[in-house]
Amino acid sequence: MSQHRLALSELTWLGPPGNASVADDHVTVHAGPESDWFNDPDAGTCLTTAPVLRFIVSEDCQVSAKVTVDFRTTFDAGVLFVHQGDEDYAKLCFERSPLGDNTMVSVVTRGVSDDANGPVIKGNVVWARVSAYRNVVAFHWSSTGHHWHMLRLFALRAPGDTTSIGFSTQSPNGLGCSATFSNIDYRPGAPTNIRDGS
């Protein structure tokens, strides 16, 4: 399949403008201190402070990127973000765990957030893919950008509402974090098979 370009110049901020640099083939997003999107099921707190640079989804599509994160503190992350509302969103995170590992993490928020850790990734670079199609969302990761491992398949509560996909960075415990999303690939349509690595 040939690569499709996403018009990075047309990305807009979800909420107040954040700090980012956008070039022809990559996006770098900088998060400040105590930045996150998380409706904590334990503490009952709701944070919507991490910067998100996004586009509105107008068709079934897949968006993938090579994610490079400047990890400094626990829970620092580079994030592919799916948004339908402040209580209906999901995050595919490349995140520093409390054990010091760089980990694939999925967060799905339907009123409150649930948080699931996936595999540990060596180094600070991984490939991540979000597929939004037929009212569902699939999260995948890859070490090469070619063979994809499914991390999660789910639906948000209001699939008929406006959906956006974005690039985000968070640093809920730290002083800030930067993540670069490069080799960004936009493909219309659904994956052929979400479980066979394609």
What are 17-44's pLDDT values in tens digits?
999 999 888 999 999 999 999 999 999 9
Give first-to-last CA distance, the chain, whole Å.
11
Does position 14 have pLDDT exceeding 80, yes or no? yes
Does position 2 have pLDDT exceeding 50, yes or no? no
Does position 187 have pLDDT exceeding 70, yes or no? yes
Name the pTM for this structure.
0.96
Cβ-based neighbours of 67, under 8 Å, separated by 6 or more: 78, 80, 94, 125, 126, 127, 128, 179, 180, 181
The predicted pLDDT at position 1 comes to 35
Please give the structure tokens belonging to residue 180: 């670069």
Nearest to residue 130, comparing CAs of 96, 100, 94, 98?
94
- How many other CB atoms are there within 10 angstroms of residue 51's CB atom? 25
Please give the structure tokens belonging to residue 134: 């037929």
Structural domains present in the chain: 8-188 (2.60.120.200)
